[in-house]
Amino acid sequence: MSRKKTVVITGCGGMLGEAVYRQFLSHWNVHASDIDLNEPWLEYLDVTGAPNVAKHIERVKPDAIIHLAALTDMEYCQSNSEHAYQTNTLGVAYALAPAVAHGIPFVYISTAGIFDGEKKAYKENDIPNPLNIYGKSKYAGEVIVRTYPKSITIRAGWMMGGGPTKDKKFINKIIKQLNAEAKELNVLSDKFGTPCYTYDLARTIEYLITRKAYGLYHGACNGGGHRLDVARFIISKLGLEKKIKVNEVDSSYWQKEYFAPRPASERLTNIILKKLNPKLTRHWRICLAEYLERFDWLGKNI
């Protein structure tokens, strides 16, 4: 019987980490870490300190490293650029160094936010031009990782996953408003993108590592649209069309709260991943419907 391989997962306490942890748990020895110890299976690791990262990885001696640790709040990054680069760029370099030293696979999750939104949709070979500190710091991390031949870089879209306790993104923000008895939702119609289902992305990560399929991929769902499409789909799936009014607004409406510049389009196409295995990604509507059924979202007020 072959030895069970070991994987180190950094930043595993968030939306994607929950999915990746559960995906790898059956076939790998998993060492999951984060600075927020919100699960009993997490170890503490701050990726902004090179000695800490090196010591952690040398102790575990993994067969692969999956680097999820990142600051993803765009407004925080915009106001705290030094911390953003320490985490999203230097933290990547610190985690990559042991992988290079031992010649093991390294996975990095990048973002659709590295593009400027001038195109309607982006292929893998389109030239990045990030508009905000978050995108710039993540792209700098991507540049570092792609110098290593045994690396896998996956650009993710609008993340959905983690459920009510870990979802910090658009879907849970909508549902929190519903649970707060909102009768109207004001939703953007001028920002386009592609949702990315964490559970499909976790499956893709394991698929690529197992096959040593190194390279650059887009890992978002199939299809795309604007935030308004996603909100209306949620309302429909929850059977609330007659109770909730959805108002179409543009970015100026939320400018005070979301002041970091954002591209008009972050839509991704999965050309390279589909050539490898067309079954790895599904349409975002299928994934969102599954996601809504996966958790108990609605409180007593709905």
**How buried is residue 171: exposed, middle or buried, by Cβ count under 10 Å (0-12/13-18/19+)?**
buried
Six-digit token string for 259:
């002041």
pLDDT of residue 300: 43
| pLDDT at position 301 | 41
3 state SS of 93:
helix
6-165+195-223+266-282 under CATH 3.40.50.720, yes or no: yes
Task: Give me 10's structure tokens.
Answer: 């950094």
Work out the number of other CB atoms within 10 angstroms of the CB of residue 109: 26
Q: Mind listing the pLDDT tens digit of every residue in the chain (302 residues)?
A: 567 899 999 999 999 999 999 999 999 999 999 999 999 999 999 999 999 999 999 999 999 999 999 999 999 999 999 999 999 999 999 999 999 999 999 999 999 999 999 999 999 999 999 999 999 999 999 999 999 999 999 999 999 999 998 998 999 999 999 888 889 899 989 999 999 999 999 999 999 999 999 999 999 999 988 999 999 999 999 888 888 899 999 888 888 888 999 999 999 999 999 999 999 999 999 999 999 999 887 764 44
The label of the residue with tokens 């010591």 reads 55
Q: What is the value of pTM for the model shown?
A: 0.93
CA 79, chain centre distance (Å): 21
H/E run at residue 206 = helix 198-210
Phi and psi at residue 91, in whole multiples of 5°?
-60, -35
- pLDDT attached to residue 254: 83
Annotated domain spans of the chain: 6-165+195-223+266-282
Complete DSSP assignment for 219-286: -PPB--EEHHHHHHHHHHHTT-TTT-EEEEE-GGGGTTT--S---SB--B--HHHHHH-TTS--BHHH
Q: What angle do CA 197, 198, 201 make, to 5 degrees?
A: 90
Please state, in angstroms and rounded to a whole number, the distance separating the CA atoms of residues 240 and 114. Answer: 35
Based on the number of CB atoms within 10 Å of its own CB, is 146 exposed (0-12), middle (13-18) or buried (19 or more)?
Answer: middle
pLDDT, residue 266, reads 94
Strands 64-67 and 42-44: unpaired
**Short-list 207, 202, 214, 215, CA closest to 125:** 215
